[in-house]
Amino acid sequence: MRPGLREEIWRATRIFFVASLFGWGMNSFLEFVFFASLLYLLWFVRKAVKIFKWIDGGMRGIPPTIDGIWGEILDTLNRQKKRHKKAQEKLSSAVRRVTQVLESIDDGIIILNPDRTIDSWNQSAMLFLGLRKSDRGVSILNLVRDPKFVTYISQNDFTDSIEVVLPRNIEQTLQISASKVGVTDTVLVITDVTKFSKIDKIKSEFVSNVSHELRTPLTVFRGYLESFEDVPNKSPAEELATTHMLKQVDRMESLANDLTTLSTMEESSVKIFAERFKLNELISELVAEAKRIGNNNHIFNLNVPAHEFVGDIKGIRAALGNIVFNAVKHNPEGVNVSISLEIEAAGVVITITDDGIGFSKDDIPRLTERFFRGDRSRNFGKAGSGLGLAIAKHAINRSGGRLEINGNIDQGATFSVWLPYLE
């Protein structure tokens, strides 16, 4: 039992005992007991009033000096106040640290309410978007009206990021990514990627210019070599040299074409034209071309039902063509290549599987990088440019699809392409 409660019980007992003695002695037991109880109640209420007055004042200053049960309650409240004050100081310190961190980072941070109105932001976000104090509670769509952003922020599942250029600074490229905070709120992270965008643009222009400039000398080389081929009475060494040089010219022309294709696909300003075409016929055409490349030395198994598809036929042809041709170029004769088409409500899944030499699992993340070629891919057929799968990835991404690659050494490879229907 708490000391204060025990003291209060003894006090009440003593008052009742004294009142009873006086009451019995003066033959007024009930009156004395009632009068003593009333006095005790008035004293009890007076103490309570003092305590509530202290509580209503915010429990500031020194608490009233009271003993008994109210003193016990008062001490408990005072201890709770001190603990609450310490917790509040820790919380305030944590909030200050978080605020200082948010203000010190270069990325802009904006917290949005469930209705997409702005709740708070940091200094970088203010600089990027020109935010003012009066913008709190304003819809983010009133400040960023780029159509890509409107579509992006209107969805519920944020799986990617977008890049926008705002009218207030057309030379600045901002990357915006969103994620859910809790159940309803949304946080926007804004990054200035102007430097990287300029680097990518310069790189793309350089690659495009190089591939363009390669064409003229290659055309000249081919012309002279083809003319030299018609010269009679060449020695075997001259024949071999001419053949090897023409093959290298073919390879350089193929590289120049691949660089041009990749550079074009990386241009975000290039629009995609959706067309209606028969996907099964396109796959059959690619298989026929792959058989010619492999001199009919590879076995193809098709499970491709007739299906009309709406999409970027040029990009899809480039993507699927590179994957199918690689299965022939980089595998030995007799390899089985299986192609299946699965039709879904939102798009299609094209799976290309071979039982060839495969590749290391460590190479999978790098297979779609420019100029990357696994060592095992050079053991058979023609050496590639290392751009085929990079072109395939860009073409698929431009159509809003995705490419998944699986495989292992001596266990073949599987390329799964999901493509959505385009309007």
| Selected residue with higher pLDDT from 36 and 113 | 113
Q: How many angstroms separate the Cα of 298 from the Cα of each of 3, 327, 411?
A: 94, 9, 16
pTM: 0.54
pLDDT of res. 76:
79
Cβ-contact 307, 341 below 8 angstroms = yes
Is residue 193 over pLDDT 80? yes
Is residue 377 over pLDDT 50? no
Cβ-contact 348, 307 below 8 angstroms = yes
Is residue 380 over pLDDT 60? no
Q: pLDDT for 258-278, tens place per residue?
A: 777 777 776 655 567 888 999
| Selected residue with higher pLDDT from 235 and 281 | 281
> Taking phi first (over 0 means left), then psi (-120 to 50 degrees means alpha), and beta for anything else, what does residue 404 get?
beta
Q: Where are the beta strands (DSSP E) in 150-306?
A: 161-164, 174-181, 185-192, 275-278, 299-303
pLDDT of res. 268:
56
Structure tokens that stand for 211 in this block: 């591939």
**Is domain 105-192 in CATH 3.40.50.620, yes or no?**
no
Domain boundaries, the chain: 3-100, 105-192, 203-266, 275-420
pLDDT of res. 37:
82
Alpha-carbon gap, residue 100 to 109, rounded angstroms? 13
pLDDT of res. 411:
87
The CATH topology of domain 275-420 is Heat Shock Protein 90 (3.30.565)
